[in-house]
Amino acid sequence: MKKDFLTLLDSDAVEVEALLDGAARLKKYRAEGKSHAILPGCSLGMIFEKASTRTRVSFEAGMHDLGGHALFLNPADMQLGRGELVRDTARVLSRFVSAVMIRAYKHSTIEEFAKYSSVPVINGLSDKAHPCQVLADLLTLKERFSSLEGLRVAWIGDGNNVCNSLLVASAYTGLEVQVATPPGYRPPSWAVEAAEERGARFTFFDTPEEAAEGAHALYTDVWVSMGNEEEREKRLRDFKGYTLTADLVRRAEPDAIVMHCLPAHRGEEITEEVLEGPQSVVWDQAENRLHAQKALLVNLLSDKVHSCGMQ
């Protein structure tokens, strides 16, 4: 039966734990130079409405490591860019590739594609969720602290797609999320309600200082995402005081780490000092996109996995 990965709501605690274990194992294989080409003959179609560095390179390199092949598909170069319906493209690509990853402006585009696709569909980013990023974040946290249970993660800034996915992930992992956003920028009700229904532990604070207190990780993201450029000046005003600074880091636990999903706008949501400081793990986060997504690909294409000690 086809399985998609559109949000973390498509998973559960058992599956997330298995994905993280698989990612750690695949990371070790790569570091040791051990072949794990366990998806030979598989292909991944990658549709990018939005520009990308980490998503594109990690999926493309990941499929290569797994013995498969990735195809970069720019809608401007496809019939999608000339008005072909999403559902028609989904039906056709399903005949050609083993899975499809989409990085889209609207989550509804990915949902429609998945509805008509006969192969697994992965959300590489949408306005609603960024589940692949949060898988990498969970792997990074687990590497640093061994266990996720009871870790306090302070989210400071925009209650955006990454924050939405982090709230849901907390329900599966035992994380406690401490969110500080300006008025009007809290996560949407669907994310809050979905996380609550699954037993997530999170608290909303009025100031970054409150959220940072006693945190094991401080996490931020850009204030102006792709698609929000026309709101730039307003957002810069609204987010004044929400920069992740050294003063906020000092309010956290002594061994706290600093996280950012990149790209970073130094001097806006985070200072140069903190981004490049000794507590920053942003480069480990970026690398872990590769390992987490490889584990996800193996999971979604498990019926095609050849024996390699992975089962």
What are the residue numbers of the active site?
Answer: 103, 130, 133, 221, 261, 289
Degrees (nearest 5) of the Cα angle 178, 251, 176?
20
Degrees (nearest 5) of the Cα angle 153, 156, 162?
75
Amino acid found at 273: E
Cis omega (within 30 of 0) for bond into 263 = yes
For 129: left if phi > 0, alpha if psi spans -120 to 50, otherwise beta; the answer is: beta
User: Exposed (0-12), middle (13-18) or buried (19+): which is 180, by Cβ within 10 Å?
Assistant: buried
For the chain, the helix, strand and coil percentages under 3-state DSSP, each to the nearest 5: 45, 15, 35
Any alpha helices (H) in the chain, and if so which ranges? Answer: 13-31, 54-65, 86-96, 107-116, 131-145, 161-173, 189-197, 208-212, 232-238, 246-251, 272-275, 282-300
Q: To the nearest 10°, the Cα dihedral for 215, 218, 224, 225?
A: -110
User: What residue has token string 């399985």?
Assistant: 3
Q: Which residues pair with 244 in a beta bridge?
A: 270
Total Cβ atoms within 10 A of residue 309: 9
Return the structure tokens found at 209: 């200082």
d(CA 140, CA 47): 26
User: What residue has token string 């990454």?
Assistant: 162
Q: Which residues contact 235 (CB under 8 A, 6 or more apart)?
A: 158, 223, 224, 228
